A and B are shown apart, each in its own frame.
Chain A
Amino acid sequence: MNARSLQTVRKVILFVAGDGANSVAATRNLALLQRSTECPFELEVVNVLQQYQRALQYDVLVTPCLVQVEPAPRVMVVGTLHDLDKVRAALQLPPEMPNAAAS
Chain B
Amino acid sequence: MAPTGRTPVPGTTGRATTIAAIPKAPTGIRGLDEVLLGGLPRGRATLVGGGPGTGKTLLGLEFLCRGALAGEPGLLVSFEEGADEIRRNARTLGWDIDAFERAGSLVLLNLDPPIRAQQTGDFDLGGLLAILDGRIRDAGIRRVLIDAVDVLLRVFQDPRREEDELILMHDRLVGQDQTVVVTVKASGDALETLHRLEYLADCVLRLDHRVVGQVSTRRLRVLKYRGSGFLSNEYPYVISEAGIVLMPISTIGLNRPGTGVRRFASGVDGLDQLVDGGFQQGSSILVGGGSGTGKTLLACTLAVAASRRGERVAYVTFEEGAEALSVAVRSAGVDLRPAIESGNLQLMMSVPETMGVEEHLWQVIQLLERFRPQHLVVDAISACQRMGAKAAAFDFVVRLMTECKARGITCLYLNQVDPADLQEVSGIGISSLIDTLLVLDQQWPEDEAHLRRLLVIKMRGSRHAHGWNRFRITDTGLHFAPGSASVADQPS
Q: Which of A13-28 contact B (CB under 8 A)?
A: 15-18, 20, 22, 25-26
Q: Answer whether residue B212 sits at the interface, using C-beta atoms and an 8 A cutoff.
A: no
Interface-lining segment among A2-10, A35-43, A52-60:
A52-60
Interface residue from B119, B125, B130 paired with A79 (Cβ < 8 Å): B119
Interchain CB contact under 8 A, A17 and B122: no
Q: Answer whether residue B120 sits at the interface, using C-beta atoms and an 8 A cutoff.
A: yes
How many residue pairs link A and B with beta carbons under 8 A? The number is: 106
Q: Determine the distance from Cα of A80 to Cα of B120 in the docked complex, in whole angstroms.
A: 6
Nearest CB of chain B from residue A5's CB, rounded to whole Å: 28
Interface residues on A, range: 35 or more
Q: Residue of A at shortest CB range from B137?
A: A52
Interface residue from B113, B116, B118, B121 paired with A61 (Cβ < 8 Å): B113
Q: Which residues of B contact A31 (CB under 8 A)?
A: none
Interchain CB contact under 8 A, B120 and A61: no
Q: Determine the distance from Cα of A79 to Cα of B130 in the docked complex, in whole angstroms.
A: 17
Q: Which residues of B contact A65 (CB under 8 A)?
A: 114, 117, 123, 127
Interchain CB contact under 8 A, A78 and B114: yes
Interchain CB contact under 8 A, B121 and A81: yes
Q: Answer whether residue B475 sits at the interface, using C-beta atoms and an 8 A cutoff.
A: no
Interchain CB contact under 8 A, A80 and B134: no
Q: Residue of B at shortest CB range from A18?
A: B126
Q: Determine the distance from Cα of A26 to Cα of B119 in the docked complex, in whole angstroms.
A: 12
Nearest CB of chain B from residue A69's CB, rounded to whole Å: 14
Q: Which of A49-103 contact B (CB under 8 A)?
A: 49, 52-53, 55-56, 59-65, 75-83, 86-87, 89-90
Q: Determine the distance from Cα of A15 to Cα of B127 in the docked complex, in whole angstroms.
A: 8
Q: Mark B148-174, 1 if CB is under 8 A from A, else 0.
A: 000010010000000000000000000
Interchain CB contact under 8 A, B127 and A62: yes
Q: Answer whether residue B242 sits at the interface, using C-beta atoms and an 8 A cutoff.
A: no
Q: Answer whether residue A48 sits at the interface, using C-beta atoms and an 8 A cutoff.
A: yes
**Size of chain B's interface in residues, with CB distance under 8 A?**
26
Interface residue from A25, A63, A81, A90 paired with B126 (Cβ < 8 Å): A63
Nearest CB of chain A from residue B334's CB, rounded to whole Å: 68
Interface residue from B117, B126, B155 paired with A17 (Cβ < 8 Å): B126
Q: Which of B99-138 contact A (CB under 8 A)?
A: 109, 111-114, 116-131, 133-135
Interface residue from A18, A48, A59, A81 paired with B120 (Cβ < 8 Å): A81
Q: Residue of B at shortest CB range from A67?
A: B117
Q: Determine the distance from Cα of A59 to Cα of B79 in the docked complex, in whole angstroms.
A: 11
Residue of B109, B118, B131 with most partner-chain A CB within 10 A = B118
Nearest CB of chain B from residue A28's CB, rounded to whole Å: 11
Q: Determine the distance from Cα of A30 to Cα of B461 in the docked complex, in whole angstroms.
A: 87
Query: Can you pick out 7 interface pairs between chain A and chain B where the beta carbons lie within 8 Å of each other?
Result: A48-B126, A55-B130, A59-B111, A61-B131, A65-B114, A76-B114, A77-B119
Closest 7 interchain pairs by CB?
A: A80-B121, A17-B126, A63-B126, A52-B134, A82-B121, A79-B121, A48-B130
**A residues neighboring B (CB under 8 Å):** 15-18, 20, 22, 25-26, 29, 48-49, 52-53, 55-56, 59-65, 75-83, 86-87, 89-90
**B residues neighboring A (CB under 8 Å):** 109, 111-114, 116-131, 133-135, 152, 155
- A61-B114, A80-B123 known, 12 other contacts, Cβ within 8 Å: A22-B121, A48-B127, A52-B130, A61-B152, A61-B155, A62-B125, A62-B126, A78-B117, A79-B123, A83-B121, A86-B118, A89-B118
